[in-house]
Amino acid sequence: MLKSFVFLAPLGLFLWAGCNDGVPNPFLPDAGSTGGSGGSGGFQEPADAGPDADPTLGGPCVDDGQCDDTLACTMDRCEVALGRCRFTPDDSTCQNAFYCDGVERCDNKLGCVAGTPIGCGDQDPCTIDSCDEPTHACVHAPRDADGDGDPDFHCTGGGDCDDTDPTVSSKLPEICKNQKDDNCNGVVDEASCTSPMNDTCTEPLEISAAGSYALDTSGAHFDYATSCGPGNQPGAADVVAALLLPMGAPVDVEITARTQFAPVSVAMAGQCGDPTSEIACGASFPAAQGGQLAKVRARMVGSATQMTALPIYVATGQASAITLDVQILPPQPKHANETCGTADAVVIGMPFAAPILDATKDLAGACPTLLGELVYSFTLAATSDVDVYASSADGDGLPSISLRDAACALPTDEIACQTASSAHVFRHALAAGTYYVAVSASAPTVANVTIEASPPTPPSSDETCVGSPVLQPNKTTPVVLAGHQDDVNLGCFPGAVDAAYELDLATASDVLLVQRIGSGDSGAIELAAPACAAPTDQIACGTGGISPVRTAKHNVPAGSYRVVTESFNGQDTQVTAFVRPAVAPKLIPFADACADAITIPPTGGLFQGNTANASADFSAGCDQGGVPPGGAPDQLLKLTLTTPQRVVMDMAGSAYTTVLDVREGPSCPGTEVPMACAVGYPPGRSYLDVLLGAGTYYLQIDGLALDSGAWFLDVRVVDP
């Protein structure tokens, strides 16, 4: 009896099962996997280790309704000609957007299974090898075990003679009287050595007036524990200043410590060396304008009967120069409006300042920060539109505002929120009553806040998921977001202005959503259930600051859905829902040259392959300069169009920095089509949306700067 066959584990690219010698296939199930179940009888395909075993076949069937293996990553169909269920794995549905854990795959028995982590070892003892998730690349950093910025002196370019001690480096000064070769010049405590300044309480930097002061932890030890400092990090060090306050009325002292890159903390105590006398402590935060900062405010310090000397500890995670700004201010009690019950009432239309420094964190919402918040209330006498604006007075932190209803205290009481350099929350037609605004920030700062009310306006028809206008598949729709608010909160992109559209699918479909955003904006595009009421309604989500933003879902059942487009800045977007009847993904085992280029159906399709062991046959115009002729290994697909068409090509989920190059025939490999070569950096990979005339085209799957690996390609062919 004849049996069907299937591609099994690869050798180089993908070879037949008889050639499999343990080389893992990043896409296919393990050789010898049994088929899934199908049909009402629960038939189980028996294990078959023969060369023709097909793990995608299941039990008997007469229609698609009898085929369901309960695995979300397989496409379930009835092969009527065979009378058997076919469960085709779709590895692209298993990708988790993380690079370093490898390419996930769909197993016919287990569903989505983890990939093989990226191996970055280069066998060079002078590099520390790691996989860097943000750049989707291996990093081979010079060996610097103690993290002091100076590689081991045994390695080229290094000068660190003790790579286990971060206080020893060729980049550091020689410290006197410590019997250590601090600067790695082979001499201990030479005549030109320096002594660390202000290292302990016996030699503090004396500060008797407000102003800016310079400190440096180079060569200093870590002597004084604080509640917010760096702890016992290997390179931690601290220095001491003494704040001298003359006899007189108590004052407030606000101190800000800044570094270029090193984590920094600042603390004030009542008695030097006594951790129980700590008055205030400020931890390190990334400053919005760059560098690190720590800020603290000591309230009501000083004495009316004698001069007061208060120690200030400034600590860094590694040796660093520090700028210390000291302000002596009139005394002010800590702000009491930290909860909804103690909120300060503010006047609509009148700006107010919210100093975000030492407030306690009491409220939770969709825009969390590490700092606490201050709470303000306002009252609407009549139904009104409401705008809340916030900006930083000093530029140190990003203000975070949360508009909350009359109940206020619970996360579900939050109406809308946003964290941004110029934060803005808008709401249509809030009913008369009392509302609250919680103000926080990404780093200590003073937020200038204004609440504005205006006559109520009706929401647009695309404002919510109820009654949304219908989105026409395969056509680009402009979306005007002026006057919109943040209505849909599915956990994809909190704090962004959004619009919703209805997407109706007559049959099970592959859906690719594409959002184009403006320069400087960040966006999100989502596919959701019609209710759009909770994160559980989210089906697919894509976010990013590089246009176009995209997300895809394969084999979406027939039904009604919602497409949500979101803009962080409230700028207009464009949305396209590319829809086609669901198709099974196709493996590309060879396609290494013109003779075996794989043909793409006229309606497009899903393809997956691996260029790792292909030949480098063709150069690409958008490849990095300086690479050898032919560039990276490549594969070819062939597309023939009988009429002009809009062709969309998406390589999201691929495991390397892809290059997608479209060439026009009829001869192979043809000539490059202008503006149709795309480099795919993480996380989106290559994407092209081009108008092509009738003719023959070759799609070259390539890699930037000799990169190669497993790839996915979704090709959509639609009317222009």
pLDDT, tens digit, for every residue of 84-129? 999 999 998 898 878 899 899 999 999 999 998 988 998 899 998 9
Phi, psi of 414 (to 5 degrees): -75, 130
Q: Say if residues 613 and 634 touch (Cβ distance below 8 Å).
A: no
Strand order in the sheet with 344-345: 344-345, 374-380, 433-441, 399-404, 414-419
pLDDT classification of 688: cutoffs 50, 70, 90: very high
Among residues 102, 130, 105, the alpha carbon closest in space to that of 116 is found at 102
Instruction: Show Cβ contacts of residue 242 under 8 Å, excluding neighbours closer than 6 positions.
Output: 204, 205, 206, 207, 309, 310, 311, 312
**Residue 717: in which H helix or E strand, if any?**
strand 710-718
Q: Say if residues 514 and 525 touch (Cβ distance below 8 Å).
A: yes
Among residues 89, 109, 112, the alpha carbon closest in space to that of 35 is found at 109
pLDDT in tens, 129-181: 999 888 778 899 899 888 778 899 999 889 999 988 888 888 888 888 788 89
CA distance 155 to 527: 52
Query: What Cα–Cα distance (Å) separates residue 124 from each residue in 129, 160, 210, 549?
Result: 9, 18, 53, 39
Q: Which two tokens stand for residue 166?
A: 């971060």
Q: Which two tokens stand for residue 154?
A: 């045994």
Per mean pLDDT, which range of 50-59, 102-111, 206-215, 300-309 is the poorest?
50-59
Place of tokens 């009553």: 433
Among residues 271, 270, 206, 213, the alpha carbon closest in space to that of 240 is found at 206
User: Where do the domains of the chain lie, and which CATH numbers do they carry?
Assistant: 17-113 (no CATH), 205-329 (2.60.120.380), 340-454 (2.60.120.380), 476-581 (2.60.120.380), 586-718 (2.60.120.380)
pLDDT above 60 for 23:
no
- Quick check: helix, strand or coil at residue 437? strand
For residue 26, the model assigns a pLDDT of 39
Query: What Cα–Cα distance (Å) separates residue 265 from each residue in 196, 240, 296, 471, 642?
Result: 19, 12, 9, 53, 68
pLDDT classification of 27: cutoffs 50, 70, 90: very low
Per mean pLDDT, which range of 67-76, 658-667, 711-720 is the poorest?
67-76
Q: Which two tokens stand for residue 246?
A: 């003359």
pLDDT above 50 for 717:
yes
DSSP class of residue 152? B
